Chain A
Amino acid sequence: MIIYTSIAFFSTMIVYWLMLIFSFLLVFAIKKRESIRLFAFYIILFAIIWLVPSEIFYYGWLGALYTMVLIVLKLFPIWILAVILSGFSTSTIIYSLRSIHLPNYLCIGVAIFFRFIPEYREYLSEIREGLKARNIGINIFRPIYSLELYLVPMIYKAFETGETLSCALITKGIEYDCKKTSYQDLSFTWKDYGVILVGLIFLGVTICQKL
């Protein structure tokens, strides 16, 4: 993932296209339905950038939006990989990270992050409901205040969830010092090696081009 991000930032167009195709193939192999949605989304974004003249770059917030879309496009291969990752079960992620010898606390952190992405989406809609129920309106002329209305409950919710989850994890012996095992069979297969190899090739090509 980290290697991938760095490549995406520094890569040239050819590598970018190759990476894009590669990650689309990956997501197509794992999640067919998601891949179609992602592909459509990509086409739309690309069309926007292509149709809108780049002079718009210089006009205030429209320019900022334009740049943002550009960044999203540039990092698209990474988004696709993130979609694939969030589809894995938490224990799979944690065990894979452990098997490449990352420290325990880092594994837990990363796994929890992916586990709670859907949770946060839900929190947002719950908070919106709460605001409506209290008849509190969002005011676009007071953006900071409006952001606060969402952010503060969100943070508290995260704390609360974190506390309960830590209780559950601690009482389930996550700290116990022993060799951890895995319920599912997660040994490396030729597929894994293949994917890593492709990643390394991308890295190699990028470095060569920069030199």
Chain B
Amino acid sequence: MSKIINVDIKQFSYNQKTILENISFSVDKGEFIVITGLSGCGKTSLLRLLNGLIPTLYEGNMTGEINILDRSISDYKAGEIAKYVGNVFQNPNDQFFSKDVENEVALIGENMGMERCMLHTQVENAIKETGIEDLKTKNVRELSGGQKQKVAIASTLVFDGEIILLDEPSANLDYKSTNELGRILEHLKACGKTIIIVEHRLSYLLPLVDRLILLKDGKIEGIFLSKDLTYEMEYKNELRTFNNNNLKAIMKAPDDNQLVKIEEVYVSNKGYSLPETVNFNLNRGECMALIGDNGIGKTTLAKQLTGLIPLRKGYTSYGKTVKDRLSNVAISLQNCSNMFFCETVEKELIPKDKLKDGQYLEEVKRYLIKMDLWDKRMLNPHDLSGGEKQRLAVILALIKESKLVILDEPTAGLDYRRMKLVAEVISEKIINTPVILITHDIELIFKVCNTAYMLSKSGNRKIVIRGNEDKILGFFKKDDIKYRIN
């Protein structure tokens, strides 16, 4: 078989710091390659070298050679490589340029000067291949994360290029959309596309992988065939789970000491509302997972409980007014960079009136070291990487004195090691303050939550997690109707 990509990087460095070293591998036509490793191992840089963003947009010095379709990557004219290599990025919100789906998919053809009638047939095909016919004329901003990623994939098909590169495409997706993404990738693989995907979450890719390249500190730690992907290998290399069905919950049931009571809360915002009201209690030592499909109202509920959106109906034991709720609840928002307002991480964590509070300072220090942010404490919070921002937002929520902590998707896109760190600090916190955790991360739920509250159109209920692992998995996998029949 012919080699479609040949990578032989002696060294890649940026600011005198070596990021990649001795990376050499080649990819056959039609192969499905997964590149994984802890955050900061250099996998994103490797991908940027492959799609030409280094050196076009990002700087760096590379010695070595990358060949795509038997041509050195430096021989391609500016922008020409777009004909052969399609890209899907991590953040579905910012990667779109056009207003509606159709034009977005067509953009690449317009840029490359494709004739209009040819372009129309190609766009038509691409939209059919990805199954988004019904979204064709919709506004891109109104789509869900999963739908946006499908649009991004569709635009890689317009040129029928042989190679598709994906950079953590599932980082912002819920469980169902992630599996759907998996199915589309399966279809593309069946069509003979060569796919290279950088990803932490591995379970949905397992049936597709031909080879998995594991990077560690900028070097190739190992290249594994799909038969080598065992539990031992996963455990040894601190990888995300290969198989969600093997997970077991480890948290014991909470104490009987009730701390928070939520009654008859009516979830509603901007014309949307959930049919049934929300009722639950939280006890000392409890971390409750709040789960449900995207768009069902998890974040709305969290904002209502925090006082960011007013409650139309309902009772919260920790505060009767919006103002009380705001001061008694600590929240880390899903879009966590909205929570940073100071010049350095340190100033963000230490308000002026706490500067002389020795105990508080110790606490901040402990959290920073624990969460692997100590070296970054003098940086601007906005300059941190995505995962670091998320951890900082978690610290901000945990360190605030409150009666309830709410964390909204704190681990989306975190590697296994960092996910474990977040789980550890949460389990320390719940000794005194209950935590509500909104997440699609099943590994995290089984690590740190003892109960789960399931939101759905057909009714809400709370269950204990331990012993009910199958039910939780079932809830994630099935849609509303099937769930009701069970």
List residues of chain A with CB under 8 Å of any chain B CB: 89-91, 95, 111-112, 115, 118, 126-127, 129-136, 149, 152-153, 156-157, 160-161, 164-185
Contacts and interface: CB of A to CB of B under 8 A. Distances in A.
A126 B338 contact: yes
B432 interface: no
A170 B52 CA distance: 9
Nearest to B105: A183
B256 interface: no
B337 interface: yes
Given A132-B307, A170-B56, A172-B155, 4 more contacts: A153-B337, A170-B52, A170-B79, A173-B82
Contacts of B91: 164
B78 A175 contact: yes
B6 to A, nearest CB: 20
Contacts of B109: 181, 183
Interface string B91-108: 100111111101100111
A136 B348 CA distance: 12
21 contacts: A90-B99, A95-B110, A127-B338, A129-B308, A132-B326, A133-B306, A133-B308, A134-B339, A153-B340, A160-B382, A164-B94, A166-B57, A167-B95, A168-B94, A168-B95, A168-B97, A170-B79, A171-B81, A173-B79, A173-B81, A177-B78
A168 B89 contact: yes
Is chain A's interface secondary structure helix, strand, loop, or mixed overall? Answer: helix
Contacts of B99: 89-90, 115
Nearest to A90: B98
Interface in B52-100: 52-53, 56-57, 77-83, 85-87, 89, 91, 94-100
A160 B110 contact: no
A181 B119 contact: yes
Interface string B298-313: 0000010011100000
Nearest to B113: A178
Contact of A89 (B100, B111, B113, B341): B100
Nearest to B306: A133
Nearest to A165: B94
A176 B96 contact: no
Contact of A183 (B53, B77, B102): B102
B438 interface: no
Interface in B368-387: 382
Most buried by B among A112, A172, A180, A183: A172
Contacts of A177: 77-79
B112 interface: yes
B382 A153 contact: yes
| Size class of the B contact interface (CB-based, 8 Å) | 35 or more
Contacts of B326: 132-133, 135
B97 A136 contact: no
Contact of B339 (A133, A172, A175): A133
A183 B341 contact: no
Given A90-B98, A171-B53, A177-B78, A134 B341 contact: yes
A15 B338 CA distance: 46
Most buried by A among B97, B303, B306, B382: B97
A167 B116 contact: no
B396 interface: yes
A174 B95 CA distance: 14
A131 B341 contact: yes
Question: What 4 A-B pairs have minimum CB-CB distances, sorted nearest first?
Answer: A173-B82, A176-B79, A130-B338, A164-B94
B110 A165 contact: no
A202 B52 CA distance: 49
A156 B113 contact: no
B94 A173 contact: no
Contacts of A167: 53, 57, 87, 89, 95
Nearest to B406: A133
B337 A156 contact: yes
Interface string B307-343: 1100000000000000000110001010101111100
Contacts of B96: 168
B202 interface: no
B115 interface: yes
B120 interface: yes
B126 to A, nearest CB: 12
A115 B335 contact: no
Nearest to B343: A152
B114 A170 contact: no
A152 B337 CA distance: 11
Nearest to A164: B94
Nearest to B340: A153
A42 B107 CA distance: 37
Contact of B97 (A149, A169, A185): A169
A178 B112 contact: yes
Contacts of A131: 341
B85 A171 contact: yes
B346 to A, nearest CB: 16
A185 B87 CA distance: 27
B79 A126 contact: no
B345 interface: no
B104 to A, nearest CB: 9
Contact of B337 (A149, A157, A166, A183): A157
B51 interface: yes
A157 to B, nearest CB: 7
A133 B337 contact: no
Contact of A161 (B94, B107, B141, B382): B94
A34 B57 CA distance: 40
Given A170-B56, A176-B80, A134 B97 contact: no
B156 to A, nearest CB: 9
Given A89-B98, A153-B382, A168-B96, A176 B337 contact: no
A129 B457 CA distance: 27
Contacts of A178: 112-113
A165 B104 CA distance: 12
A81 to B, nearest CB: 18
Contacts of A165: 94-95, 97
A134 B340 CA distance: 9
A172 B339 CA distance: 32
